[in-house]
A and B are shown apart, each in its own frame.
Chain A
């Protein structure tokens, strides 16, 4: 039998060790590639404010969707589109009523060369380039929107033979930033200078929303995270003024 005081000491030590895991929890989040920069900053602010941790996994929305459907460990899902969260909701992976728009996607036509893309996007009609990069419209939300823009401008069929397609928006950016594609449709967040709120390098055209359909980047709380205080707190935090300010700073529109 242990002496009484030693026994108490062990209990106290055990409680102290246990405490952080009880109060602060961690949640695993699947994040669309275009939201990499703001989410990294939001996660840091989240940790500071709530003490919880958000572990972020960046990639294409489609891949995260497939992983969630195959039993992936994600608790919160930030998609670049509305389609995948809706689909997950229908198949019963989502906590009822948790779906919300966290940001409005902003598309830019961009080139690594300065003075190449004019601020009206007239270059799409004048041409003179060999390749135009976009994310694959078959599964990437930015690719879908890029096609809609070219369709509204009546240049889709003319430009289609010049398409080079990235697997997600990060790879598309790589094609353009290395100069292999003269220009391409990428996320505003990838090229914004957060001090001025304008395109920081190269040249580009921030595409007006009326040239494409709604670009509602949608998040859901997945059933895996329904009991996790960190997942619940993160969903709330994404709607907080702190998070919204970061989202706006990186060039996204705010949910209406």
Chain B
């Protein structure tokens, strides 16, 4: 059976993933909308920055965050100035790192969905005197629903599976930063292979079930099509 420490790690992981996904949808939606509609010269640069975590090793991102969020780093000096202390080894720091790390998985499907909608429905809404916000919620959101679902589910599952970044900035604190991937790693390192198997199995079944729902029940296109 799963030990209390394993269950604690699972619950913590879902807590990080839920909060991170909510934040990514909140910030990712306007960003993806802007990227889908803009002709700005900055578009290429912003696209590249958002996509960076897809290609960077998580340990690189984690190491930069450890240094930047530390007391001598730019972010660390800022958070110290705000009076909230430094972010590594905290739950909040973990959420911020997860948001940065999983952002492309949210922005890219949304951006693809928004691009696919095209100009026509928006112009039609405008001729019916719908304001920009009204257009967004009454026209864009329903049309881009598969994109929103894909974004939320991929963002969530990617955060659940995150390891390298957490290892670098988490400090392995039970109940605070010891997420399930780190707990599995701990079991392997401590040669507790049966515990590692069990927890890894739980994660595998969960991730597979979520993706199965995404691709069969919701009939969403595999992500590769959306990322083009």
List residues of A whose CB falls within 8 A of some B CB: 60, 62-63, 65-66, 130-131, 133, 136, 138-139, 163-167, 171, 174-175, 178-181
Shortest distance between the CB of A146 and any CB in chain B (Å): 14
A131 to B127, CA, bound (A): 60
Cβ A66 vs Cβ B188 within 8 A: yes
Of the candidates A136, A175, A181, which one forms a contact with B189 in the assembled complex, judged by CB atoms under 8 Å apart? A136
Interface status of B191 (Cβ within 8 A of chain A): yes
> Footprint of A on B, CB under 8 Å?
63, 66-67, 69-73, 85-86, 88-89, 167-168, 171-173, 185-186, 188-191
Give the residue of A163, A167, A178 whose beta carbon is less than 8 angstroms from that of B167: A167
Given A62-B191, A66-B188, A66-B191, A179:B70 Cβ within 8 A: yes
- A131-B89, A136-B172 known; A178 and B72 CB under 8 Å? yes
Q: Looking at the complex, which one of A62, A138, A164, A167 makes contact with B89 (CB distance below 8 Å)?
A: A164
Query: Which single member of B70, B173, B188, B190 contacts A178 (CB below 8 Å)?
Result: B70
B189 near A133 with CB under 8 A, answer: no
Question: Nearest-CB distance from B57 to chain A (Å)?
Answer: 15
Q: Are B70 and A180 in contact (CB under 8 A)?
A: yes
Contact of B66 with A138 in the complex, beta carbons under 8 Å: no
Interface of B is mostly: loop
Query: What is the CA–CA distance of A131 and B167 in the complex, to the nearest angstrom?
Result: 16
Q: Which residues of B contact A62 (CB under 8 A)?
A: 189-191
Partner among B86, B188, B189, B191 whose Cβ is within 8 Å of the Cβ of A180: B86
Chain B residues contacting A180 (CB-CB under 8 Å) are 66, 69-71, 86, 88-89, 171
Chain B residue contacts of A66, Cβ below 8 A: 188-189, 191
Known: A180-B70, A180-B89. 9 other contacts (CB 8 A): A66-B189, A66-B191, A133-B171, A163-B173, A165-B171, A174-B63, A175-B88, A178-B72, A180-B66
Contact A63 B171 (CB under 8 A): no
How far apart sit A212 and B172, CA to CA, in the bound complex (Å)?
Answer: 24
Q: 18 A–B contact pairs at CB < 8 A?
A: A63-B189, A65-B191, A136-B172, A136-B186, A136-B189, A139-B191, A165-B173, A167-B185, A167-B189, A171-B167, A171-B168, A174-B66, A175-B66, A179-B70, A180-B66, A180-B86, A180-B171, A181-B171
5 closest Cβ pairs, A-B complex: A164-B171, A165-B172, A139-B189, A178-B70, A179-B71
Nearest chain B CB to A36 CB, angstrom units: 17
Complex Cα gap A171–B104 (Å): 28
With both beta carbons as reference points, the residue of chain A lying nearest to B188 in the complex is identified as A66
Residues of B within 8 A of A164 (CB): 89, 171-173
CB distance from A76 to the nearest CB of B (A): 21
